[in-house]
Every structure is written in C-alpha cells, then in structure tokens.
Amino acid sequence: MYSRAENSRIRKEFWIAFGQYMKPVPNAQGRRINWPNYRTGIKDIYFRMKAERGFASIGIEICHPDEELQELFFDQFTQLRKILENSTGEKWDWKLHAENELGQTISKIEKVQKGLNVMEEDDWAKIISFLKPRIIALDEFWDLVKPGFEDF
C-alpha cells in the first residue's frame, strides 16, 4: 500500500514525465503546448487524461452545470462523430449525463485502456503510448471543429 503522499508523488512524477515526453510535439497549429493541461479554450469543455490504478483514459468532458446546455454540446459533438472517429482511427464511448467522481452530472466521450497502473513505473511507457496518439488526434480534431463551439 502507498501512503497518500507517496501516491501523490508517483502520480505527479508520471505527469511530469508525460509532459517532458510530449514537450517537443507541437499542436495542430505548430505551436508549443502544455499537453497534460490541454486547454480547449471553450468554457465547460475539457480534454481529460487519466492514469489510475487499473486503467488509463482520455476523453472530452462536457461539464456545463445546465443539463440542457450540456446536452446541446453533446448533440453538437454527436454530429461531428465521424470526424472524431476519422481523427482517432477508432470508436470511443459516448455517455450523456454520466456522474463523475465528484457526483456532478457531466457528459463524456472517452477511450479507456484497462489493465494499466500508474503506480507501476513499468506501465508508464504503455500509458504514454496509449495517451500520446489520442491527445494529438484530439488536438487535430479540435483544430477543425472548435469554431462551431465558440458561439455558445
């Protein structure tokens, strides 16, 4: 078992390593970017990467507190589903009005890879290999579709 401090330290070290690994990779517009803290530029839409005990995941989270507006964002993403699938080269899981770990209602579009453990340094390369192509693909997708979300 890991203490809370040890758990926090290991996770922090992973995200620092991921950030260093991704640092030379420019975004779709050729700019430097802080990949672990990707900013979509649209309020209430986030790209979330998680590395936990048992899985790694990446996804789009729609966190607008108004569930009707959240559903409008989700519907807009649904219309862009083929573009996302073409960008990532795979199908993702779509969940309207799911509950996050804080008990808030969110909607998310995500890809999960089970069997990975951020607490095991031997898994870090596999986690990075899972996250890297998907965050780059999400960035390329977002570069194409973001203007459609700027009027909300």
| 119 part of a folded domain | yes
Helix 81-88 and helix 124-145: axis angle, to 10°?
140
| 43 part of a folded domain | yes
Please give the tally of structural domains in the chain.
Answer: 1
| 113 part of a folded domain | yes
pTM, rounded to two decimals = 0.94
| 29 part of a folded domain | no
- Single-letter code of the amino acid located at 72: L
Residue ranges making up the domain that contains 141: 4-24+34-147
The answer for residues whose C-beta is within 8 angstroms of residue 123's C-beta and 6 or more apart is 116, 117
| 131 part of a folded domain | yes
d(CA 107, CA 95): 6
The token pair at 11 is 């996770």
Q: What is the pLDDT of residues 39-98, one digit of tens each?
A: 999 999 999 999 999 999 999 999 999 999 999 999 999 999 999 999 999 999 999 999
| 152 part of a folded domain | no
Mean pLDDT computed over every residue of the chain? 96
The token pair at 138 is 């999400």
| 10 part of a folded domain | yes
Quote the pLDDT of residue 57.
98
Question: Which helix (H) or strand (E) segment is 67 a member of?
Answer: helix 67-79
| 92 part of a folded domain | yes
